[in-house]
Amino acid sequence: MDRESARLQFDDMNKKFNIEHTFPFDEAWDFVEYKRFQATINTPDEFFPTNYTKEQYRKGIIALQNKMLEDEKTYTPEKNPDFSPVKHTFCKHQYVREIFNPAGAMLVTKIHKVEHPFFLLKGEMSILSEEGEMRISAPYYGVTPVGTKRVILAHTDCTFVTVHPTNKTTLDQIENELIAKDYEELEVA
Can you give the three-state secondary structure of 96-137, one letter per residue? EEEEEECCCCEEECCEECCCEEEEEEECEEEEEECCEEEEEE
pLDDT in tens, 34-74: 666 555 544 445 545 556 778 888 888 888 888 877 776 56
Q: Residue 147 has what pLDDT?
A: 93
Q: Residue 65 has what pLDDT?
A: 84
Distance from C-alpha of 68 to C-alpha of 80, rounded to nearest angstrom: 13
Q: Residue 63 has what pLDDT?
A: 85
Q: Which regions of the chain does DSSP assign to beta strands (E)?
A: 86-91, 94-101, 106-108, 111-112, 116-122, 124-129, 132-137, 140-144, 151-154, 158-165, 179-180
- Contacts (Cβ under 8 Å, ≥6 apart) of 128: 48, 150, 151, 152
Q: Residue 168 has what pLDDT?
A: 92
Q: Residue 74 has what pLDDT?
A: 61
Q: Residue 43 has what pLDDT?
A: 40
Q: What amino acid occupies position 64?
A: L
Q: What is the pTM of this model?
A: 0.69
Q: Residue 41 has what pLDDT?
A: 45
Distance from C-alpha of 57 to C-alpha of 109, rounded to nearest angstrom: 14
Distance from C-alpha of 53 to C-alpha of 113, rounded to nearest angstrom: 20
User: For the chain (length 189 residues), average pLDDT per consecutive 10?
Assistant: 80 80 74 60 48 80 82 61 83 94 87 95 92 90 94 92 94 94 82
Distance from C-alpha of 102 to C-alpha of 99, rounded to nearest angstrom: 10
Contact (Cβ atoms closer than 8 angstroms) between residue 100 and residue 85: yes
Backbone region of residue 147 per phi and psi (left: phi > 0; alpha: psi in -120 to 50; beta: other values): left
Q: Residue 107 has what pLDDT?
A: 85
